[in-house]
Structure 1
Amino acid sequence: MNISNYIESGIIERYLLGLASPEQEDELLHLRRIYPLLDLEFTAAELRIEDKLMEEGSLPPVKIKNAVLQRIKPDKDWEDRPRGGYNPYEHTNFHHTYIPLDSFWNRRITVSVWWRCAFIALAVLAMSLAASTWYFYHRAQMLEDILFKLKVPPATYPAPVTR
């Protein structure tokens, strides 16, 4: 396959503009994995299209900007309010709806007291099981040593030291 003819056919531009058929898209994605030159041409085509759109682009009408700003801040009181903070007792007819700007993912998880107690009890149980396992392991090792000494004939032991 001649890759330069494939690039010159305009398939990359059709893909980027959403005009390629599903078969052409699959073929292009498969060939991109094989030929690294297609990745470079893909990036260059993206930049060419972006530059062309920026050259031919136009600014939106001013009335659209004004309409959007009116939806954001419907009252002139918004700009005239004092910047030092808001005193709720200062203006009784000051009714604005404030939207909290907290992040959507900034959530707190509350846990019941009973779950906390259960977790603490589980942690204490796990520590006590670990301690008892350690104790019984060392106790078994000590008893194994005593049994080993009982099975070995006494002649192999060194004579007791007397003073």
Structure 2
Amino acid sequence: MNINNYIESGIIERYLLGLASADEEAELFALRKIYPILDIEFAAAEIRIENKCHLEAKTPPPALRQTILNRFKNDDADFNTNEETYSRQRYRQQPPKTDTYILEPFWKRRMSVSIWWRCIVIAMVILLMALAASTYHFYRQASRFEDALIKKVSSPNSSSR
């Protein structure tokens, strides 16, 4: 295989631009392991494409910057509005479902949580608290039993004859 003809075929550029097929990509990576010059050409093609993009790039119009900044200012103004007014407007537009709990955090995004998920979380918390209490109870009971056993073994009345 003539590697120079392969390089000049433009396969590296097609790969970098995302235009190569899966077979061409597999062939390129297999040949890169065999021919180290392909790695050098790969890096050079990346630089050529990047330079071409920089040369042909157009600067956006200055008015676009102001438009984007104004949009951020409007978002900030909406963020600082009264939360109660915002909540009333949201509920008027879309009434909450009866089986969901509406969470509206400070960043004004709406998230619905099913009542059943809330019940599951509450049940898990109660179960965790019961488990912690029973663990503490059994630990204290085992400590008392251990103390009583030590007293019984170390008492002078229980000497063996």
TM-score for the superposition, normalised by structure 2:
0.47
The one of the two structures with greater contact order (alpha-carbon pairs below 8 A, sep at least 6) is 1
In our comparison, the structure showing a higher alpha carbon Rg is 1
